[in-house]
Amino acid sequence: MNFRRIVLALLALVFLAPTAWAQSQERSIRVFAAASLTDALNELGDAYASAGHPRPVFNFAASSVLARQIDQGANADLYISADEPWMDYLAERRLIDARSRVSFLSNRLVLIAPIDEPLRLQIRHGFDLHRALNGRRLAMADPDSVPAGRYGRAALQSLGVWSAVQGDVVRAENVRAALRFVELGEAAAGVVYLTDARASSRVTIVGEFPAVSYPRISYPMAVVRGGRAAEASAFAAFLQSGAGDATFSRLGFILQ
């Protein structure tokens, strides 16, 4: 009799466990976020789960890629962009709850190089980046669509060096991919956010671009229409809480 009960209990676990797992997944919100937020959101996702909430499921990529995925019907509950234009893109299509939209973070733009092959440059108007590259590549997120690349091109144009280096640029799918090119030594330098540079032990910061040389970096987030608004709003509020502020500040983001 006891043996029969044990067998039945084991069978119940076998059949119920997948159901419980699926229900747990259903309760987890889907957050589509800019690649530069990978470390911060993973850390905050763990903290949110430790507080008793289902851990969010993150989709990290270029803001442009994520916005287009949402536009094409991808299931998302919360969207966090690295610039305002891609949030505007979704707002114009009425795919976000405009009342939930908030711009809560900023960042800085820096020039990096492999830690074992640093460049000696002072970032100023007309600085000879092309010569410093010495025939090698400059890694950037795609300046035609990805926020980090757009900011980077604006900075180089403002400083009068874009025309000299645009032929040296290797276009990465997002800012973290640009960082990896430099980490692996496949590019002599890269233009990334300060937070990305600080997240890597394999690159060194050559210098910071003057804030006046590019548009202010802004991270807006908003609840996606048709998603799980209450749960998404709760996580958005957590990101703007004291715990969120502390984490973002420690990693180098600027609170807005």
- Return all residues near 156 (Cβ < 8 A) that are at least 6 apart: 129, 162, 165, 191
Tens-level pLDDT at each residue, the chain (256 residues): 454 444 334 444 444 444 443 444 458 999 999 999 999 999 999 999 999 999 999 999 999 999 999 999 999 999 999 999 999 999 999 999 999 999 999 999 999 999 999 999 999 999 999 999 999 999 999 999 999 999 999 999 999 999 999 999 999 999 999 999 999 999 999 999 999 999 999 999 999 999 999 999 999 999 999 999 999 999 999 999 999 999 999 999 999 9
Where exactly are the structural domains of the chain? Answer: 2-106+218-255, 109-213
What pLDDT does 1 receive?
A: 43
Q: Spell 224-238 as b/e; 16+ CB within 10 A means b.
A: bbebbbebbbebbeb
How far, in Å, CA of 230 to CA of 132, rounded? 51
Q: Does domain 109-213 have CATH number 3.40.50.300?
A: no
Global pTM reads 0.89
Which amino acid is located at 244 in the chain?
A: G
What CATH architecture applies to the domain 2-106+218-255? 3-Layer(aba) Sandwich (3.40)
How far, in Å, CA of 205 to CA of 108, rounded? 12
What is the DSSP code string of the chain?
-HHHHHHHHHHHHHHHHHHHHHHHHHHS-EEEEEGGGHHHHHHHHHHHHHTTSPPPEEEEE-HHHHHHHHHTT---SEEE-SSHHHHHHHHHTT-B-GGG-EEEEE--EEEEEETTS------STT--HHHHHTT--EEEE-TTT-HHHHHHHHHHHHTT-HHHHGGGEEEESSHHHHHHHHHTTSSSEEEEEHHHHHT-SSEEEEEE--GGGSPPP-EEEEEBTTS-HHHHHHHHHHHTSHHHHHHHHHTT-EE-
Q: How many residues are given for the chain?
A: 256
The CA-based dihedral angle spanning residues 195, 43, 145, 68, taken in that order and rounded to the nearest 10 degrees: -170
